[in-house]
């Protein structure tokens, strides 16, 4: 493994607001930078009262301004919601302001519901997701040097060659990333079922390109680390509540942890959540370190991206600090 990174959704906690969530995100990025994390990614979600990163490029600019060297990026922008030219301009602007620090991860899902897609001026019954390969290639083109007679240009953007990643939770984006010779990140933190197969497909089918000469794959995991195993398990109950609420169609701000996990939902709901979150390191530093080492040995990923929806901001910082120490050791040992 070469590196470790952060994925943040700028969680809006119960009783707080989006401003505080974004301030917390920037402080977390500063903490991650000091802990040796390579990237700080934020994700696009719409119509979610518990997530403050909908305007992903704007949020990343705020984070980048408050940090010095950590790479900032989208993990990801949901490309079916946007015209590729607009995204090229947004991330071309970021790359102009923060040279050699910006990544652009692209997802194929809308990251929202059908009605909100309509409000985003995209037709959910149209062909946007099916046009994803063409949209990705169009976006890549906007970051290339200008061609003779090229009429449509991304300004800023052209010639900047912003690194583009494909994100996914199935085999589709793994195959497309391999065909285009792009780095690939798998969303195993909430959709773990096809992780091993997707990584195998990506590595086997990878075609070297002007963007990347050999496969580079990343997997996302949840980390809930604290001073004790019990404290880590308690931290996890916030995201468990969030998952149950989402499946019930009642999403909202991130709730504080609870002492009784069985109170979160029915036995079936808890089983579904346990399955979705099975790629999670939970507990004290020793337990989390052992789990992360086994995960890296099993998947042989080039990079782990850590996320953690934790209610208390100081507890969240501590969790990422613990994970950072464990991952730094893994990198040093060359696992």
Mean pLDDT, range 283-306, rounded to an integer: 98
CATH number where 29 lies:
3.20.20.30
Number of domains in the chain: 1
Q: Using CA atoms, how far apart are residues 110 and 80, in angstroms rounded to an integer? A: 6
Does residue 45 belong to any structural domain of this protein?
Answer: yes
Q: Using CA atoms, how far apart are residues 81 and 313, in angstroms rounded to an integer? A: 30
Q: Using CA atoms, how far apart are residues 89 and 28, in angstroms rounded to an integer? A: 27
Inter-residue contact 196 to 279 (CB < 8 Å): no
Say whether the peptide bond before residue 76 is cis (omega within 30 degrees of 0).
yes
Does residue 56 belong to any structural domain of this protein?
Answer: yes
Inter-residue contact 48 to 251 (CB < 8 Å): yes
Mean pLDDT over the full length of the chain: 95
In tens, the pLDDT along 79-109 reads: 988 999 999 999 999 999 999 999 999 999 7
- In the DSSP assignment, the letter for residue 130 is G
Angle of helix 195-205 relative to helix 171-180, nearest 10 degrees?
A: 20
Domain with 10, as residue range(s), is 3-229+279-333
- If phi > 0 it is left, if psi is from -120 to 50 it is alpha, else beta; for residue 181 that is left
Does residue 26 belong to any structural domain of this protein?
Answer: yes
User: In this predicted structure, which of 28-37, 84-93, 125-134 has the lowest mean pLDDT?
Assistant: 125-134
Q: Using CA atoms, how far apart are residues 3 and 306, in angstroms rounded to an integer? A: 11
CA dihedral 27, 33, 38, 42 (to 10 degrees): 10
Predicted pLDDT at 128: 59
Does residue 239 belong to any structural domain of this protein?
Answer: no
Instruction: Indicate the burial class of 68 (C-beta count within 10 angstroms; 0-12, 13-18, 19 or more).
Output: exposed
Enter the pTM of the model.
Answer: 0.95
Does residue 266 belong to any structural domain of this protein?
Answer: no
Asked if the model's pLDDT at residue 202 lies above 70, the reply is yes
Asked if the model's pLDDT at residue 129 lies above 90, the reply is no
Does residue 270 belong to any structural domain of this protein?
Answer: no
Stated as kind and residue range, the H or E segment containing 223 is strand 217-225
Does residue 283 belong to any structural domain of this protein?
Answer: yes
Asked if the model's pLDDT at residue 270 lies above 80, the reply is yes
Does residue 36 belong to any structural domain of this protein?
Answer: yes
Predicted pLDDT at 335: 83
């Amino acid at each position: 493994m070469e590196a470790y990174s952060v994925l943040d959704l700028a969680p809006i906690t119960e009783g707080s607001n989006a401003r505080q969530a974004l301030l917390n995100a920037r402080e977390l990025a500063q903490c991650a930078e000091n802990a040796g994390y390579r990237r700080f990614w934020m994700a696009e979600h719409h119509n979610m009262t518990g997530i403050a990163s909908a305007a992903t490029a704007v949020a990343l600019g705020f984070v980048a301004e408050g940090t010095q060297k950590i790479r900032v990026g989208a993990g990801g922008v949901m490309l079916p919601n946007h015209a590729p030219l607009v995204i090229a301009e947004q991330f071309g602007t970021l790359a102009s302001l923060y040279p050699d620090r910006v990544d652009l991860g692209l997802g194929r899902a809308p990251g929202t519901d059908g009605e909100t897609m309509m409000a985003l001026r995209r037709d959910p019954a149209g062909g946007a997701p099916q046009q994803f390969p063409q949209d990705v290639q169009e976006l890549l083109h906007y970051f290339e040097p200008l061609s003779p007679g090229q009429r449509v240009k991304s300004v800023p953007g052209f010639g900047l060659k912003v690194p583009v990643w494909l994100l996914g939770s199935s085999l589709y984006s793994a195959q497309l990333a391999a065909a285009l010779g792009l780095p690939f990140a798998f969303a195993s933190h909430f959709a773990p079922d096809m992780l091993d197969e997707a990584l195998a497909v990506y590595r086997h089918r990878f075609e070297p390109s002007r963007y990347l000469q050999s496969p580079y794959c990343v997997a996302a995991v949840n980390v809930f680390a604290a001073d004790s195993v019990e404290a880590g398990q308690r931290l996890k109950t916030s995201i468990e509540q969030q998952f149950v609420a989402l499946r019930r169609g009642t999403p909202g701000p991130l709730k504080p942890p609870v002492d009784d996990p069985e109170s979160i939902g029915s036995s079936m709901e808890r089983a579904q959540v346990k399955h979705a979150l099975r790629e999670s390191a939970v507990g004290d530093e020793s337990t989390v370190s052992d789990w992360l080492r086994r995960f890296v040995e099993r998947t042989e990923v080039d990079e782990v991206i850590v996320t953690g929806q934790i209610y208390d901001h100081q507890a969240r910082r501590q969790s990422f600090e613990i994970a950072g120490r464990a991952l730094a050791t893994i990198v040093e040992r060359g696992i």
